[in-house]
Structure 1
Amino acid sequence: MTLSHFFILSCTGDTLLSRSLRGESNKGTPEKFYKVVRERGNELAPVFHQDGVLYFYIRRSGLFFVVTTVFEMPPSYVLEILQRITNALKDFCGSLNEESLRRNFALAYEIIDEMLDFGYQQCMDTSQLKQKVYNFAVASKKQLHVRDRLQGARSIPKTVPSAVSQRPLASPGAQKNEIFVDVLEKMSVVLGSESQYRNAVIEGQIHVKSFLYGSPQIKLALNEDLIINNRRGKPPGVPVLDFCSFHQSVDSSEFEQTRILTFYPTDGEFTAMSYKVLGNIFLPFKISPTIDIQPNKTNFTIIVTSALPGTNSAFFNITCPLPRSTSGVEILLQPNTIPQSAEYKAEENCLTWNVKRIQGSSEVVLRCSMKCTGSKKEFGPINLNFEAPLYSASNVKVRYLRIIQGQGFGTSYRWVRYVTSSNSYVYRF
């Protein structure tokens, strides 16, 4: 069971990197993949079969990372490989975006060749890759600008060491003794009438990126009242995980009793813990659409209510297909104190609505008047994409992050961040 082809596409379908892993004929594969993406949109599963080929993909920073094979392979295994590839590219290139990959295409190809040899998984650890990769990363314009501001100089060479995770773009002396822990959660929700969900899933990951000196022991403690796979008699507000798994380097022997994870952080970024919450989920946004079809016009209203805590905020965008016969669209947004914009894209028969910032416990309204002869069945579905910083939808929290480090390493810094975003948040009429 081997992989056949690896490629990276931009959000517009441009091929940024493509490697035939077994020398097989893969002509047109990226184009076929992007055609399916455009046809199915947000409903496209991360694994699908097309013309005798299995496609596995993940999306990061607006880019598609894809592998193909003609063999039956475990999806979790292949998606984990893609996750590790994206982590390695980010560690070496400093950031993961289109500009960074275009500037570092030689380095990216070298990393892929070391990680996937003739379609088989090989070196997947950043610390091992550092010994095998010899190209240097080229800093992006944004990274150079930040570095120049930090150092106040313009004569710095425009290359950085390849192991970016350990030697950042600022001078080596500017590196702090610090560790970053991100609690990242993605929600997949299907809403029906009255915003009652038909299906809801939270997929969470605890990412760790360490710049600590000496690779010390780390103890990461989560909620003491965290429940695993048991909803009977659950008190309100207590987080319940239906599934969880840990990175191979994490010692979870204490987790059952104390909810403490112990590990020695490796070079680069890794996922210390993955988890899922199925059903019985508190929804951060309520979508309430109404359609009023009259003889001369149709009034379409969407009300989005933020159920986030009052101290939290988020941004979101909505896309909603309209009937093909739509014309003469007029849009009104309320309230006008919230930064937002909306437009009707006639070539796509689609309504888009962007809200840059909505505070918790508040609502925004889009009112749309149009001429159309379509029925209610031609409206939707409504797709909402959002990101809510400082918020954990599952209520999983880091109780403490303890660094057990010897003397002589100076002050260590700990940073914990929470981000909840949408994987697929859909309202179906």
Structure 2
Amino acid sequence: MINSLFLINHSGDIFLEKHWKSVISRSVCDYFFEAKEKAIEPENVPPVLQTPHHYLISIYRDKIFFLSAIQTEVPPLFVIEFLHRVGDTFLDYFGECSETVIKDNVVIVYELLEEMLDNGFPLATESNVLKEMIKPPNILRSVVNTLTGGSHVGDTLPTGQLSNVPWRRAGVKYTNNEAYFDVIEEIDAILDKSGTTVFAEIQGVIEACVRLTGMPDLTLSFMNPRLLDDVSFHPCVRFKRWESERVLSFIPPDGNFTLMTYQVSSQNLVAIPVYVKQNISFLEAGSCGRLDITIGPKQTMGKTVEGLMVTVHMPKAVLSVNLTATQGTHTYDLATKTLVWDIGKLNPQKLPNLRGSLSMQTGVPKPEENPSLNIDLKIQQLAISGLKVSRLDMYGEKYKPFKGVKYLTKAGKFQVRT
């Protein structure tokens, strides 16, 4: 299925490549580099590109492009999911997925890729199974392997590979039995000048951290599951149970994993947490302009908005800014024409305001393009869609675990049209 995998950094350098079946020349990536040059943002590079002899399927995460070269036609989403599994495995093994970390652990990276893909087809993609075959790196093991010429590959086949529950290893034991679930939602929204919602949807994910002894069978119930659209589950979830009862029934993997992702697309159900009053104007043929932005809480259900940041992509004609902020700090990057206003925690009693003048090139006409205003925020203990976990039940084991659920809302692509 997958013939070659290339890892490309943000500047366009190929720093790692892995081939199955036969070696594909690096020149195949030139088609990808052409598409990257045309894209305004790295996320805007088309995930599927067709070349005369190959298909190029890629993802972008943690400032790294994972680019796969394929010679035959395959389902693109299948390849995209595998590439995300590769990134998740690197994150689980090394704590972060960055160019520096991958280069420092290049031997383990190649060993992982060899086990995850067999002759171009996915084989073992679960961290539980991989950690039994390839030991995670530590200083002592690295020193011993360097002196003895050994590797991180284990001597025995993992028990999970031989069972009907391949995502969970056998014989798991914990002194403290715990199960935590994080409901994380991102808002993608576009607001017009008056603050009216033009487009809004929520992308949600439930991250789980399960450390339970034995082989527990869990059931997770929601108070309002009908509002969820386009759901996607971890392979451990019994889909027929969800279809009939809207209940998540599963034997969990050991450790951290993504239980499910979902979408809430109805604008009637998407509550925008903040409102924005903004006025950005330029003189017809002058050398200055005016900017005035005010942000306040709208539908936060009494929760505090934290990490609030406003990014304004100015026209090329703007040289400098002379602004005053009632809260937070602001910076202007002349090279990228980007104004960043870091507000921090939103105080409902005293709304943050940023206003002042813009200095522009003399004699330059009024800019044709409008500034792009993006917002970044997070709200603790709140799922903006209203999704609530009602209960978690466990079967198959006699002990009583400690359970916890945390909610978090944050901004995805949150844009205000000026």
TM-score range, shorter chain: 0.7 to 0.9
Within the alignment, does 1:226 sit opposite 2:225 as a pair?
yes
Counterpart of 2:309? 317
Aligned positions of 1:23-422 closer than 5 A: 23-27=23-27, 29=29, 33=33, 36=36, 39-41=39-41, 44=44, 47-49=47-49, 54-59=56-61, 62-70=62-70, 72-96=73-97, 100-133=101-134, 135-138=135-138, 176-223=176-223, 225-227=224-226, 240-255=227-242, 259-280=246-267, 281-294=270-283, 295=286, 297-307=288-298, 308-334=300-326, 336=327, 340-359=328-347, 363-372=351-360, 373-375=364-366, 377-404=368-395, 406-407=397-398, 412-422=401-411
3-state DSSP of counterpart to 1:36 = helix
Counterpart of 2:162? none
The question of whether the paired residues in 2 share the 8 Å contact of 1:5 and 1:26 is answered with: no
For 2:196, the aligned partner's letter is Q
User: CA offsets, 1:233-274, max 9 Å, x none?
Assistant: xxxxxxx22322333321244545654211111134333222
For 2:18, the aligned partner's letter is R
Seen in structure 2, the aligned counterparts of structure 1 residues 58 and 348 have a Cα distance that, compared at 3 Å, is closer
Name the CA distance, whole Å, in 2 between partners of 1:329 and 1:116. Answer: 53
Q: Deviation of residue 353 (structure 1)?
A: 1.8
User: CA offsets, 1:209-246, max 9 Å, x none?
Assistant: 221111311121111x432xxxxxxxxxxxx2232233
The question of whether the paired residues in 1 share the 8 Å contact of 2:43 and 2:60 is answered with: no
Counterpart of 1:148? none
Seen in structure 2, the aligned counterparts of structure 1 residues 345 and 39 have a Cα distance that, compared at 3 Å, is farther
Name the CA distance, whole Å, in 2 between partners of 1:15 and 1:300. Answer: 42
Name the CA distance, whole Å, in 2 between partners of 1:394 and 1:201. Answer: 9
The question of whether the paired residues in 2 share the 8 Å contact of 1:202 and 1:394 is answered with: yes
The question of whether the paired residues in 2 share the 8 Å contact of 1:391 and 1:420 is answered with: yes
Counterpart of 1:142? none
TM-score (norm 2): 0.77
After superposition, the CA RMSD in angstroms is: 3.6
Q: Deviation of residue 279 (structure 1)?
A: 3.3
For 1:302, the aligned partner's letter is I
The question of whether the paired residues in 2 share the 8 Å contact of 1:252 and 1:260 is answered with: no
Q: Mean Cα displacement is larger for which, 46-55 or 281-290?
A: 46-55
3-state DSSP of counterpart to 1:130 = helix
Name the CA distance, whole Å, in 1 between partners of 2:388 and 2:194. Answer: 30
Name the CA distance, whole Å, in 1 between partners of 2:30 and 2:255. Answer: 29
The question of whether the paired residues in 2 share the 8 Å contact of 1:188 and 1:423 is answered with: yes
Q: Mean Cα displacement is larger for which, 349-358 or 19-28?
A: 19-28
Name the CA distance, whole Å, in 2 between partners of 1:359 and 1:100. Answer: 39
Q: Deviation of residue 51 (structure 1)?
A: 6.3
For 2:208, the aligned partner's letter is V
Q: Which has the larger radius of gyration?
A: 2
3-state DSSP of counterpart to 1:378 = coil
Seen in structure 2, the aligned counterparts of structure 1 residues 327 and 91 have a Cα distance that, compared at 3 Å, is closer
Name the CA distance, whole Å, in 2 between partners of 1:38 and 1:190. Answer: 24
3-state DSSP of counterpart to 2:83 = helix
Identity of aligned residues (%): 24
Name the CA distance, whole Å, in 1 between partners of 2:107 and 2:341. Answer: 39
For 1:57, the aligned partner's letter is I
For 1:300, the aligned partner's letter is L
Unaligned runs of 5+ in 2: 140-151, 159-166
Seen in structure 2, the aligned counterparts of structure 1 residues 417 and 346 have a Cα distance that, compared at 3 Å, is same
For 2:180, the aligned partner's letter is F
Name the CA distance, whole Å, in 2 between partners of 1:97 and 1:361. Answer: 41
The question of whether the paired residues in 1 share the 8 Å contact of 2:8 and 2:66 is answered with: yes
For 1:88, the aligned partner's letter is T
3-state DSSP of counterpart to 2:272 = coil
3-state DSSP of counterpart to 2:317 = coil
Seen in structure 2, the aligned counterparts of structure 1 residues 24 and 343 have a Cα distance that, compared at 3 Å, is same
Equivalent residue in structure 1 for 2:413, among 390, 400, 424: 424
Unaligned runs of 5+ in 1: 140-159, 228-239
Q: Deviation of residue 173 (structure 1)?
A: 10
Seen in structure 2, the aligned counterparts of structure 1 residues 194 and 328 have a Cα distance that, compared at 3 Å, is same
Name the CA distance, whole Å, in 2 between partners of 1:397 and 1:161. Answer: 42
For 2:366, the aligned partner's letter is S
Name the CA distance, whole Å, in 2 between partners of 1:287 and 1:74. Answer: 42
TM-score (norm 1): 0.75
3-state DSSP of counterpart to 2:346 = strand
Name the CA distance, whole Å, in 2 between partners of 1:400 and 1:34. Answer: 51
Name the CA distance, whole Å, in 2 between partners of 1:361 and 1:76. Answer: 47
Q: Mean Cα displacement is larger for which, 23-32 or 383-392?
A: 23-32
Name the CA distance, whole Å, in 2 between partners of 1:316 and 1:161. Answer: 45
3-state DSSP of counterpart to 1:81 = helix
Name the CA distance, whole Å, in 1 between partners of 2:25 and 2:11. Answer: 24
Size of the aligned set, in residue pairs, is: 381
Name the CA distance, whole Å, in 1 between partners of 2:203 and 2:305. Answer: 21
